[in-house]
């Protein structure tokens, strides 16, 4: 149990003082069973930002500029809310001061293999590492932002998360797996964002922004859950992938006439032609399948539930 002597008390230290640290520290104010501290280098540009005083006031904690002083006191949980590019160096510097105790929680968007390496380094120092992936925006959702956790001590962080009201799903005992799921999820989440950008630019060029936005908003398929959407789309695509790829080819020609490089349209056409090649000659069989069965069929594998 965290808190040493079974008192239920928890000490938590944030490394970095960006949106995650400030939002979560602010949400933890007033909980008498948790002590919050933070570390930020003295030369950090954040300390010179005009909004610095407001951030400190919101968080209810003023970061110290000595890493050893921040973590040597025996923090139960260290949350390394730092950029991915510095996460390995920060982790290794921190491990030297943790004394082989506490949880080191890494919500950085570093690559899965990097997180696996950091986990190994943590193990060598006797530190417990947790790979954490955020599936939303902390400034909007605070402690309630959906989270994925992985690593050999992920269960320990889930225990704390439940006390804090966090929404955490454990992925596996392998560090890097939580971030891997988040990055694959970005195929849709970030790909969708790029599609919206390309659509609205093209809509602006033909003076039809409102007509197009309203037409998509009114489409029945836009008002179902994602699970319902994939079960609706995949079987139909098995039959119509080639025709829809042809339509995207014409769409690309229209965008080029408007002076817009159809980056997303061309990528979508390629993916649908890939699908059409794999369903050619047997679309009826695919039409009777669920979305997951269609994907397994495209890959030439028996269906396995995720």
pLDDT tens digit string along 184-223?
A: 999 999 999 999 999 999 999 999 999 999 999 988 777 8
Query: What pLDDT is recorded for position 119?
Result: 96
How far lies 200's CA from each of 119, 186, 190, 262, in Å? 43, 20, 16, 12
Query: What pLDDT is recorded for position 278?
Result: 87
Query: What pLDDT is recorded for position 223?
Result: 82
> Cα–Cα distance between 60 and 28 in angstroms, integer?
9
> Cα–Cα distance between 216 and 51 in angstroms, integer?
40
| 3-state DSSP assignment of residue 252 | helix
Low-confidence ranges of the chain (pLDDT < 50): 1, 4-6, 303-306
Secondary structure element (H or E) that encloses residue 172, with its range: strand 167-172
E-state strands within 63-156: 77-80, 103-106, 128-134, 146-150
Label residues 223-262 b or e (16+ Cβ within 10 Å = b).
Answer: eeeeeeebbeebbebbebbbebbeebeebbeebeeeebeb
CA 69 to chain centre: 31
Query: What pLDDT is recorded for position 306?
Result: 39
Q: Is the Cβ–Cβ distance between 159 and 225 less than 8 Å?
A: no
Question: Residue 144 phi/psi, 5° resolution?
Answer: -90, 5
Nearest to residue 70, comparing CAs of 46, 48, 102? 102
Query: What pLDDT is recorded for position 72?
Result: 77
Domain boundaries, the chain: 10-181, 219-298
> Cα–Cα distance between 194 and 192 in angstroms, integer?
5
> Cα–Cα distance between 21 and 37 in angstroms, integer?
10
Indicate whether this model's pTM tops 0.75. Answer: yes
Q: CA dihedral defined by 167, 171, 174, 177, rounded to 10 degrees?
A: -90
Counting other chains too, the contacts that 6-9 makes at CB distance below 8 Å and 24 or more residues apart are 8/33, 9/33, 9/34, 9/35
Which residues are CB-contacts of 133 (< 8 A; sequence separation ≥ 6)? 107, 109, 147, 148, 149, 150, 178, 179, 181, 182
Cβ atoms within 10 A of the Cβ of 180, count? 21
Query: What pLDDT is recorded for position 102?
Result: 85
**What CATH number has the domain spanning 10-181?**
3.40.50.720
Query: What pLDDT is recorded for position 219?
Result: 83
């Amino acid at each position: 149990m965290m808190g040493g002597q079974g008192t239920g008390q928890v000490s938590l230290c944030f490394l970095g003082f960006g949106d995650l640290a400030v939002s979560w520290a602010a949400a933890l104010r007033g909980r008498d069973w948790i002590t919050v501290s933070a570390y930020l280098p003295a030369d950090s540009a954040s300390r010179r930002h005009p909004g610095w005083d407001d951030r400190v006031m919101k968080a209810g904690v003023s970061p110290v500029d000595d890493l050893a002083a921040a973590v040597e006191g025996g923090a139960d949980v260290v949350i390394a809310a730092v950029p991915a590019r510095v996460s390995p160096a920060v982790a290794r510097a921190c491990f030297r001061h943790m004394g082989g105790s506490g949880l080191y929680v890494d919500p950085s968007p570093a690559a899965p293999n990097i997180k696996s390496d950091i986990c190994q380094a943590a193990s060598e120092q006797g530190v417990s590492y947790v790979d954490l992936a955020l599936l939303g925006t902390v400034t909007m959702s605070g402690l309630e932002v959906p989270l994925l956790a992985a690593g050999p001590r992920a269960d320990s962080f889930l225990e704390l998360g439940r006390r804090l009201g966090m929404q955490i799903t454990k992925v596996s005992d392998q560090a890097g797996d939580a971030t891997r799921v988040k990055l694959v999820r970005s195929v849709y989440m970030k790909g969708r964002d790029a599609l919206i950008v390309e659509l609205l630019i093209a809509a602006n060029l033909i003076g039809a922004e409102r007509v197009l936005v309203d037409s998509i908003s009114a489409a029945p398929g836009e008002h179902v859950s994602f699970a319902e959407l994939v079960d609706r789309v995949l079987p139909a695509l098995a039959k119509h992938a080639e025709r829809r790829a042809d339509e995207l080819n014409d769409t690309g020609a229209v965008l080029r006439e408007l002076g817009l490089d159809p980056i997303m349209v061309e990528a979508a056409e390629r993916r649908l032609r890939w699908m059409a090649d794999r369903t050619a000659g047997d679309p009826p069989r695919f039409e009777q399948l669920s979305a997951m069965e269609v994907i397994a069929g495209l890959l030439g594998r028996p269906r396995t539930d995720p």
